[in-house]
C-alpha cells in the first residue's frame, strides 16, 4: 500500500552545498529538526555510489520512520526500497515511472506551469513540486513561478503541492494558509551549519508558530 | 524467457566518437554490417533524453531482430523493453540488477580480473565483457587484461565472454578459436566513416574468413 506522506517540510539534499561532513548526518539532523520527508539527490556519481549512499541514508530515514524519495532514478529507489521517486521535466516521464515502480511507490513531479501540473496529475503523479518560486542558486536555469500561477495550479489539481526554489525564513511565510502542503527546501537547510535549527525554524514558520 | 544471444560482434555505442549523424543510423549500419548485438551507452544526457534515444534505437534493433542492451541503467532498459543491461564495476551490482530486472533480462558484467569474473558468474550474470584487452582511447583509465588472465577467466567461468578494449582489425585475430564468444567493439566500428564495412571486416576476421 502507498505510504501516507506528511509533506510539511521536505528536505532535498545537495552534496555540493553541505557544510555537514556526510549526507547521512545532514539527513539525520534535518529529521531531528522536523523534516517530514527526505529526497536524496546525487547528480555526479556512479550508479553504484548513488546506490550505496541511498542505502545508508535509508538506514537513517528508517530509524526515524521518515519517508525517503530518490531523485530521478527509479532503479536506485527499487534497489534500496525507497518510498518513491521525484522527477523533473527532463527525467523519465511519470507514466513510464509508474510502470517501472508499480502502484505502491510515491511519484513526485516538478512543475513550473499550470500545464505541466495538470499533465502530471493526469499521468498519475502523487504530488507536485512547484517552482522555482524565487531565483535560487541551486538551480540557476529554473523558470520562476508567480504566486498567481501557483494559486491557479492549486485550484486546478487536487494533488499535494510542495513549493520549491528560494524557500527560506524570509520567503516561507507567504506559503502559509494558501493550500500548499509543504515547503521543499535545499540550501536553507542543507547549507546551514545548524541543520536541525534551520529545519525547526522553517517548520514553525510554515505551521504558523512564528515568523 | 531469456533471449538467446549471438555474441559474435557486439557494438557498444559512443556518441562522442561517431562520424555518422545519428546513433540510430550508426546502429542500423552496424547491424547491416553483421553486428549481432547492440549496447546503447549514453553517459552525458538526462534520463529523459536517454530514454528517448533508447526508444528510437530499439525501433531499429527490433526491425532487424537484433538484441539491445542498455549500459548502466536498468530503469531505461525496463522503460523501453530492452533485452538487458550491461554494468561495469562502478554501476549497480549484479544481484540488485537481477532483482530489479527479473529472470528474463540479460545482465552483462565488465570484468578485468579473474576474481571479478568469478564473482559476476556467482552473482547471476549472463555474460562477461572482459577487458580492456589493449590500451584504448575510449576508456583511458581501464586496467589492461593480459591474454594469460583472459585464458584463466575462460577456464574458470562457463558464461559467454566478449573481449573489449582496443579490439580492431589488427588485434581481433588473437581472439579466434580461444573460447571467446565475441568481440565487443566501440571505436573500430562507431568512429569509422563506413560503419557497415568496418563491422563486416571484423566479423569476417573473428569468424576466420580473412585477416
Whether residue B4 lies inside any domain: the answer is no
The residue range of the domain holding B119 is 9-207
Question: CA dist A176 to A203, A206, A210, Å?
Answer: 11, 6, 11
C-alpha–C-alpha distance, residues A138 and A23, integer Å: 17
Average confidence score pLDDT of chain B: 95
Length of chain B: 211
pLDDT at B20: 86
pLDDT at A134: 95
Cα diameter, chain B: 43
Q: How large is the ipTM?
A: 0.93
Query: SS3 for A154?
Result: helix
Query: SS3 for B40?
Result: strand
Is A96 within 8 Å of B74 when comparing Cβ atoms? no
Chain B interface includes A95 (CB < 8 A): no
Task: Verify whether residue B139 is a known catalytic residue.
Answer: yes
Alpha helices, DSSP H, located in chain B? 23-33, 47-63, 74-80, 94-101, 114-122, 147-156, 187-190, 195-207
Q: Which residues pair with B127 in a beta bridge?
A: B108
Mean pLDDT of B109-134: 97
CA atoms within 13 A on the CB side of B109: 27
pLDDT at A208: 86
Whether residue A24 lies inside any domain: the answer is yes
Whether residue B99 lies inside any domain: the answer is yes
Mutation for testing the A interface, residue in B46, B48, B55 having most A CBs under 10 Å:
B48
pLDDT at B43: 87
Whether residue B3 lies inside any domain: the answer is no
Express each pLDDT in B127-144 by its tens digit.
Answer: 999 999 998 876 777 789
Mean pLDDT of B53-81: 98
Express each pLDDT in B10-55 by its tens digit.
Answer: 999 999 999 889 999 999 999 999 999 999 999 889 999 999 999 9
Count of other CB atoms within 10 angstroms of residue B49: 13
- Residue B86 has which C-alpha cell? 550491461
Residues with Cβ within 8 Å of A21's Cβ and at least 6 positions away in sequence, in order, are none
Q: What residues of A are in contact with residue B87 (Cβ under 8 Å)? A: 47
C-alpha–C-alpha distance, residues A207 and B12, integer Å: 54
Whether residue B211 has pLDDT greater than 60: no
Our count of domains for chain B comes to: 1
Q: Which residues pair with A64 in a beta bridge?
A: none
CA atoms within 13 A on the CB side of B132: 15
pLDDT at B180: 98
Whether residue A4 lies inside any domain: the answer is no
C-alpha–C-alpha distance, residues A70 and A101, integer Å: 12
Quick one: which H or E segment has residue A164? strand A161-164
pLDDT band (50, 70, 90) for residue B210: low
Whether residue B2 lies inside any domain: the answer is no
pLDDT at A210: 59
Mean pLDDT by 10 residues, chain A (211 residues): 93 93 97 98 95 98 98 98 97 97 97 98 98 83 91 98 97 96 97 97 90 49
**A64 DSSP 8-state letter:** T
List the single residue in B79, B89, B92 with the smallest CB-CB distance to A51: B92
Count of other CB atoms within 10 angstroms of residue B6: 14
Whether residue B26 lies inside any domain: the answer is yes
**Of residues A194, A208, A190, the one with CA closest to residue A11:** A190
Check which CATH number belongs to the domain holding A16 and give it: 3.20.20.70
pLDDT at B141: 75
Residue A119: Cβ-neighbour burial (10 angstroms; 0-12, 13-18, 19+) = middle
Give the orientation angle of helix B147-156 with respect to helix B114-122, to 10 degrees: 20
Out of A15, A139, A152, A169, the active site residue is A139
Whether residue A2 lies inside any domain: the answer is no
Task: Verify whether residue B122 is a known catalytic residue.
Answer: no
Amino acid at each position: 500500500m502507498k505510504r501516507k506522506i506528511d509533506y510539511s517540510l521536505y528536505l532535498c539534499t545537495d552534496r555540493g552545498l553541505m557544510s555537514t561532513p556526510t549526507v547521512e548526518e545532514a539527513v539525520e539532523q534535518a529529521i531531528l529538526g522536523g523534516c517530514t520527508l527526505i529526497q536524496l539527490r546525487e547528480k555526479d556519481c556512479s550508479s553504484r555510489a548513488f546506490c550505496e549512499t541511498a542505502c545508508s541514508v535509508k538506514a537513517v530515514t528508517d530509524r526515524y520512520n521518515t519517508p525517503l524519495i530518490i531523485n530521478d532514478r527509479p532503479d536506485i529507489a527499487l534497489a534500496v526500497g525507497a518510498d518513491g521517486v521525484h522527477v523533473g521535466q527532463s527525467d523519465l516521464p511519470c507514466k513510464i515511472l509508474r510502470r517501472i515502480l508499480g502502484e505502491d511507490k510515491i511519484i513526485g513531479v516538478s512543475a513550473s506551469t499550470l500545464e505541466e501540473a495538470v499533465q502530471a496529475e493526469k499521468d498519475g503523479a502523487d504530488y507536485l513540486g512547484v517552482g522555482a518560486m524565487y531565483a535560487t542558486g541551486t538551480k540557476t536555469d529554473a523558470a520562476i513561478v508567480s504566486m498567481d500561477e501557483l494559486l491557479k495550479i492549486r485550484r486546478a489539481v487536487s494533488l499535494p503541492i510542495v513549493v520549491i526554489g528560494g524557500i527560506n525564513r524570509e520567503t516561507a511565510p507567504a506559503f502559509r494558509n494558501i493550500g500548499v502542503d509543504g515547503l521543499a527546501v535545499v540550501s536553507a537547510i542543507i547549507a546551514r551549519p545548524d541543520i536541525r535549527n534551520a529545519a525547526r525554524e522553517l517548520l514553525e514558520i510554515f505551521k504558523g508558530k512564528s515568523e
